[in-house]
Amino acid sequence: MSDFLQILIAAVAVGSTYALLALGYTLVYGVLKFINFAHSDVFVLGAWTSFTASMFVTQRMNVDPAHAPWWVGLCVLLAAISVASTVAYCIERFAYRPLRKSPRLNVLITAIGVSLLLQNVGQLTGPAVVRETPTTVTKAAADLTPAERASETTKINGEQAQVQVQGKPLATLPFGSSPRSMPVLLPDAVLNETTAATGVMDGGSRRGMVKLDKPVTLEEGRTYSLQTERLDASGKPTGERETLGVASPAGTYEKGTDIRTQPARNAKDVQGAAYTLTIAPEVPIRLLDVLIVVSALVLMAGLEILVYRTKLGTAMRAISYNVETAQLMGINVNLVISFTFVLGAALAAAAGFLYPMKYPGLNQPAHQIWVLLGLKAFVAAVVGGIGNIRGAVLGGFLIALVEMFGAFYISTKLSDVFVFAILIFVLLVRPSGILGTTVREKV
């Protein structure tokens, strides 16, 4: 049962990002009746912009990305949305708008071309935005290049010279072809873990042993951990935190009794450290997953209100019925269509920010994993009923559930097969999608 619940929690978190990405497909299709295959690349742009912005901001603040303030994540999200929305507007204005009255095949080919353009430009290695800290090396003065000799940082002392060497690029623009690791800017913790004891520990009788200042009982079959924080001479926290696993067998340990930890630490490393002994739950609920799901649901609820409760949403729905009639009624068609692309790109950028929070590895922009993620989001939109906002949300969660439960209980190698099998099944049984409606056309 615990495995089932853990898979369910992970599927809901991933399904939230699928749903956000699927909404971009369904918005554009609902208004213009064509598939924007470049939408998945806007999602990739959002993810890589999030990485570049996070590295830039944290370096300027001189903080470790893993311990950045909470508002840094918000700033990075806004930066990703701004860049993705601007690119989406340019795509609509210069690639799709001139072809609006052309056959749909022309627009489809253009969308594929724009997708390939974004992929290939994204993997070019541009100038460095963020670099590692420069280092200083010693060279013979006679071996200095003209650029090194003219540099203000080069110091010549007789036959030797101290040359400052630029650090390796940490982020470039465009992004390059090397994979990166996204810093997790959202706070994370296990929300439902239980605290068994707190206090100050001492080093044990040998390496890997600690002594707690309170008696504790370790139960069979439970997982325990020690959250430690070093204290200074005055007893104030220093901010140096570490998590140690408890490797001692079940039983009762009196005050001052040795308890084995993993990894092993010397007595001086843990002497006088504050500790919190926690009991891990069978089904951990992580703060990061909650933040991802809540953020996605807030964005989806905002979109629902915008489309069905505002004049702009009414204009979008009017254009989806008939462009010419909407224009005759005084609706600025170009403005509304551009806004639709920008709105879809903003949701894709939000998904591009949230997805690497859970899976920090960023493959290069043209990697096939990004293409597959875009296809899954497109499948989610079709399964739910493309053109239907609630259908896209439902499809995103359904695809994530099928993918993860199929991978866990049947085969990880067939997880993608399950996704596309659902697509085929829905198209055979209900071609318009689960929440889609059949439109009759007179001929």
Q: Does the predicted TM-score (pTM) go above 0.85?
A: yes
Residue type at position 361: G
- Number of other CB atoms surrounding residue 180 within 10 Å: 20
Which pLDDT value is given to residue 316?
A: 94
Which pLDDT value is given to residue 67?
A: 77
Question: Maximum CA pair distance of the chain?
Answer: 91
Strands 216-218 and 223-231: unpaired
- φ/ψ of 176, rounded to 5, equals 90, 175
DSSP for 67-94, please give it: G--HHHHHHHHHHHHHHHHHHHHHHIII
CATH numeric code, 2-127+286-429: 1.10.3470
pLDDT in tens, the chain (443 residues): 788 999 999 999 999 999 999 999 999 998 888 889 999 999 999 999 999 999 999 988 888 877 788 899 999 999 999 999 999 999 999 999 999 888 888 999 999 999 999 999 999 999 999 988 888 888 888 888 888 778 878 888 888 888 888 888 989 999 999 999 999 898 888 898 899 899 999 998 899 999 999 999 998 888 999 999 888 777 777 778 888 999 999 999 999 999 999 999 998 888 889 999 999 898 999 999 999 999 999 999 999 999 999 999 999 999 998 999 999 999 999 999 999 999 999 999 999 999 999 999 999 999 999 999 999 999 999 999 988 999 999 999 999 999 999 999 999 999 999 999 999 999 999 999 999 876 555 54
Distance, in Å, from the CA atom of 396 to the CA atom of 382, rounded to the nearest integer, reads: 10
Which pLDDT value is given to residue 159?
A: 81
Which pLDDT value is given to residue 142?
A: 81
Which pLDDT value is given to residue 153?
A: 80
Distance, in Å, from the CA atom of 383 to the CA atom of 377, rounded to the nearest integer, reads: 10
What is the distance of C-alpha 440 from the center of its chain? 40
Q: Which of 279, 265, 253 is nearest to 202 (CA)?
A: 265
* Contact status, residue 29 vs residue 386, Cβ threshold 8 Å: yes
412-415's contacts with Cβ under 8 Å and 24+ in sequence apart are none
* Contact status, residue 355 vs residue 106, Cβ threshold 8 Å: no
Residue 352, token pair as written in the block: 């591009």
* Contact status, residue 342 vs residue 89, Cβ threshold 8 Å: yes
